[in-house]
Copies of this chain bind each other. A is one copy, B any other.
Amino acid sequence: MNPTIKDVAKHANVSIATVSRIVNGLPGYSEETKKKVQQSIEALGYQPNAIARGLINKRTQTIGVLFPDVSGMLSSEVLEGVENAAHDGGFSVIVCNTTSSGKRTVKYLRLLQEKRVDGIIFASEDVKEEYYKIFQEMKVPVVLVSTASSKYDLPFVRVNDFDGAFQATEYLIQKGHKVIGMIGGSDEDPIAGVPRMQGFQKALENNGLSFTNSHIKKNEGYRFQNGKESLPLLLKKLPDMTALFAASDEMAIGAMSAAHELGIRVPEELSIIGYDNLKIAEMCYPALTTVSQPLKDMGQTSGEMLVSLIIGEQQEAKSRYMPFTIVERQSVSNFRDK
């Protein structure tokens, strides 16, 4: 259907080897034949077949990216970075939406294996043994983004969640707050759950502030609804709370929404700091002060890391902790005794 290298060769009266060499910029032909062949390519509209290339080169110039939730705002930004880096490195990216399901994840990994992708980016989830085994079978580089693995030695790109939570809490303390609550994740979540709660606790303790179980409302998810439902519950246990650290922006905004409904003014009566710095953080009112994860950058960096592992620039990738910053907007105020 499409013209092949053979058609070009015939049209230009040379061998397919010569055409191949010219197409790939290898040496071994005169300037004259090069022109002739290029004209034939132009005339026939020849496009090399990446499939055939892949078969012989054992390189598909394609990577796979697995997200628990492609349409999540966190994933989308990371994806943009990954795609950008991949494209710059000459790779295409296949997206996989695992919906946090182990079965689906395995199915996708098998698919990526059959498709012979050259590498994998695994985002925002814990690496189960099952997954790791497939990684090993596949013998392609893998880099984790926005997650890490304690059990397995896989390079990651992420921010230090403990530090982020610690700093966020310190920030509230510096603003004069004494009674600070947290809307957190789950004890079962080693990525965004535990470390953020530990960072929070540590900051309180370091500053001689009280910390009890009542200071944290845990949640299974990190969504708007989780935050919205958590605020009233947290306020019940911690009525004189003046500041709140939420383990995600969505939860922070959910809490903000609940506060509005309860007639609690933000930040005058309740200061709120989030975590992530999603696009919505600057769109809500009051604009959300939050711990900024450089999501697009993280995607970009993990993408670059992966391609450099694939093309063999480096043998072992060095994991990277990305810098976070606290971006100050309007949801946190100084605490003043009334």
Measured CB to CB, the residues of A under 8 A from B are 1-2, 45, 47-52, 54-55, 58, 60, 62, 70-73, 75-77, 79-80, 83-84, 87, 92-97, 110-111, 113-116, 137, 139, 224, 250, 253-254, 256-257, 260, 279-280, 282-287, 296
Contacts and interface: CB of A to CB of B under 8 A. Distances in A.
Given A62-B94, A95-B93, A283-B257, A114 B76 contact: no
Given A51-B116, A79-B95, A254 B283 contact: yes
Contacts of A250: 283
A148 to B, nearest CB: 23
B114 A50 contact: yes
A113 B92 CA distance: 12
State the copy count for this chain. Answer: 2
A111 B296 CA distance: 23
Top 6 A-B residue pairs of the complex, sorted by shortest distance between their CB atoms: A71-B80, A71-B76, A76-B76, A50-B114, A260-B285, A50-B115
23 contacts: A1-B139, A47-B110, A50-B114, A62-B115, A70-B76, A71-B79, A73-B279, A76-B76, A80-B97, A83-B95, A83-B97, A87-B97, A94-B94, A224-B279, A224-B283, A250-B283, A253-B283, A253-B284, A257-B285, A257-B287, A280-B280, A280-B283, A284-B285
